[in-house]
Amino acid sequence: MTDPETLAAQLEQERLRNEQLERTVRALNDSVQELEAFAREVSHDLKAPLAGILGYAQLLENMDFGPARPAEFDDFVHEIGRGTSLMSRLIDDVLAYSTARGAVLHLTDVELTAVLADVAAEWAGDVSRPAPRITWDDLPAVRGDDLMLRRVIDNLIGNAVKYVRPGEAARVHVSADVIPAAEGHEGFVRVEVTDQGIGIPEGQHEAIFGELHRAHPAYPGTGLGLTICRRIVRRLGGEIGADPDFTGGARIWLTLPVARTMILR
């Protein structure tokens, strides 16, 4: 049997270890917040000069140099614009990654069909690739933050459009089902984004949601898109994953709380 003095010493050591652990956790949280704040500031600072470069590239493209215009001029200006647009999108990813964890949520009922229509129209207007065929069912409304959900849908559609074989037009379909209410929750909507692209390598269906993971390094990107999606979806009370049994492309699913208007019906 442990004597009182030994027991008291053990308890004191445990208390000191707990205090040290709490200090370490606080320090780590402070470091994460500082890094995220730094990423936000740098992202904002980089956007302005990039916009200027892109603007001047567009001016050059529209200028009439007459016979003095070199044959390679249009190609060079196009590459400047393409590279600048890509860099701008990468910065957007870094900014979204740094804000997805702690940004204030503005919860409301969101019409997924309207969000998807807007996102699909934007991707259809990208003339740098074959026009994608994006279709969807009549999607139910969900409870969430409109801007954050647009980021999620844009990332998922963007991946489906991007990860195709060279010269191939993407084919994407979005469907959804309402999961009935059960004990502990009022109901969810399960959304599935299915494409017929190059698919997800075997064994990487969970890893693709990790930070900076790139399943297809030959394709441009930061490896943050699906990480951002998972951060946002989990903050909204849902989950997201990839179907490992789907063949012929990729299928990403996510669950989101059902809209209040549907609960009240």
| Listed residues 100, 123, 147: the one ending a domain | 100
The helix (H) or strand (E) run that includes residue 179 is: strand 171-179
pLDDT band at residue 142 using 50, 70 and 90 as cut-offs? very high
Torsion sign, CA atoms 81, 84, 90, 92: negative
DSSP state of 167: T
Q: Which range of residues forms the domain containing residue 223?
A: 107-263
Question: What is the CA angle 154-157-163, rounded to 5?
Answer: 125
Cβ neighbours of 122 (radius 10 Å): 11
Same domain? 93 vs 127: no
Q: Contact at 8 Å (CB) between 243 and 205?
A: yes
Torsion sign, CA atoms 96, 100, 105, 107: positive
pLDDT at 213: 74
Same domain? 68 vs 156: no
Contacts of 248 (CB under 8 A, 6+ apart): 196, 199
Whether the per-residue pLDDT at 2 is higher than 80: the answer is no
Half-sphere exposure of 160 (CA within 13 A, CB side): 32
How many domains does the chain contain in total? 2
Whether the per-residue pLDDT at 256 is higher than 90: the answer is yes
pLDDT at 225: 86
Span 122-130, average pLDDT: 83
pLDDT at 174: 97
Rounded Cα distance between 135 and 52, Å, is 35
Alpha-carbon dihedral angle through residues 87, 93, 94, 98, given to the nearest 10 degrees: 160
Rounded Cα distance between 215 and 164, Å, is 13
DSSP state of 175: E
Give the predicted TM-score (pTM) of the model: 0.71
Same domain? 119 vs 231: yes
pLDDT band at residue 70 using 50, 70 and 90 as cut-offs? confident
| Listed residues 40, 75, 100: the one ending a domain | 100
Same domain? 126 vs 241: yes
Beta strands 250-257; 188-195: pairing state: antiparallel
Rounded Cα distance between 141 and 194, Å, is 19
Q: What's the CATH code of the domain at 234?
A: 3.30.565.10
